[in-house]
Amino acid sequence: MTNPSYTVIGAATTRAARPMWMLEELGLVYDYIGAKPHGDDVTRHYARGKVPVLLVDGEPITDSTAIIQFLADKHGQFTHPAGTLDRARQDALTHCILDEFDAVLWTSARHSFILPEEHRVPAVKESLRWEFARNQASLVKRMGDQPFVACDSFTVPDIVLTHCLMWAKSAKFEISEPALLDYFTRMKARPALQRALARGKS
């Protein structure tokens, strides 16, 4: 059985890094189009113009988390099986990270350079930094001593969290929890992530 043809659309400096990393972890061949949001390569597949888009044999899938969960399910790696309690716990942590890390960083970005200037509220970013620090402490307690987010092995939420921590560093949001800094150092060193980032720069 042959694998589908995969194409990632979206610059690797965006959430497109997430499906690129997953594809590298899975050892799969894929094409890469480093398009910016709202570019023609994006809007022909997704009218909203948001990245990433994954083409699967030419059919588009949108939203980075949906994409990486699809890839994990399709190839039976880096995820617990659907319908199990372990999968429910994994999904709960994925959504927690989206709510408490990704959403905070996205709100900051919107009030920094995305929204029209007259609709930006720069002062909100101090509140967001406070919230980001509080959310880190909560997640670290939830993770406990396990080496990865959801269990003792690498799964979908590890990609989401690590990408959010990369985003935080570039947005000057402090990673204040030592355990999370240690986790971040280990995740950044994964060869598949390094390959994805290098491909994005090429």
Write out pLDDT tens, residues 71-80: 999 999 999 9
In the chain, what are the domain boundaries? 6-79+192-201, 85-190
pTM: 0.97
The topology (CATH level 3) of 85-190 is Glutathione S-transferase Yfyf (Class Pi); Chain A, domain 2 (1.20.1050)
In the beta sheet, which residues pair with residue 59?
56
The yes-or-no answer to whether 6-79+192-201 and 85-190 have a common fold is no
With a CB cutoff of 8 Å and minimum separation 6, the contacts of 147 are: 183, 186
Q: What is the pLDDT of residues 93-145, one digit of tens each?
A: 999 999 999 999 999 999 999 999 999 999 999 999 999 999 999 999 999 99
Alpha-carbon distances of 150 from 78, 80, 85, 96, 153, rounded to whole Å? 11, 10, 12, 11, 8
CA-CA distance, 44 to 122, in Å (whole number)? 33
CATH no. for 6-79+192-201: 3.40.30.10
Q: Which residue has the tokens 């590890």?
A: 158
CB 136 within 8 A of CB 142: no
* Tokens at 91, concatenated: 């999904």
pLDDT bin (cut points 50, 70, 90) of residue 2 is confident
Cβ–Cβ under 8 Å, residues 50 and 106: no
Instruction: Tell me the pLDDT band of 1, cut-offs 50, 70 and 90.
Output: low
* Tens digits of residue pLDDT in 26-59: 999 999 999 999 999 999 999 999 999 999 999 9
